[in-house]
Amino acid sequence: MSSYSVAEAKNKFSRLIDEALAGEPVIITRHGKPAVELRPAPAPRMDREAMNKLLDDIATRARSRPTLGEPAADIIRKMRDGDD
């Protein structure tokens, strides 16, 4: 874990961002005490409209596939119990 004073962090800010993005914890101290931790921002979440479109596309693909002729639970029971 890297630790830098505010003054050091100001001078090396780009490098500290690169360290944080690489997974290295970066702590910035003020008066010798930890004040801030740099870490990567969370990945952007998919907005509701994009999520609904994705779910619709998945459902459409699922409906276009042929059925197995029997419920999945029955197929799994046969596989588990060794029935043919």
pLDDT in tens, 18-47: 999 999 999 999 999 999 999 999 888 889
Residues 32 and 6 in one domain: yes
Q: What pLDDT, in 10s, does the model give residues 70-79?
A: 888 998 999 9
Residues 56 and 76 in one domain: yes
Structural domain that includes position 8: 2-38
Query: Any residues with CB less than 8 A from the CB of 5 and at least 6 apart, and which?
Result: 28, 29, 30
Asked if residue 59 belongs to a domain, the reply is yes
User: What pTM, to 2 d.p., does this model score?
Assistant: 0.52
Per the structure, the count of domains in the chain is: 2
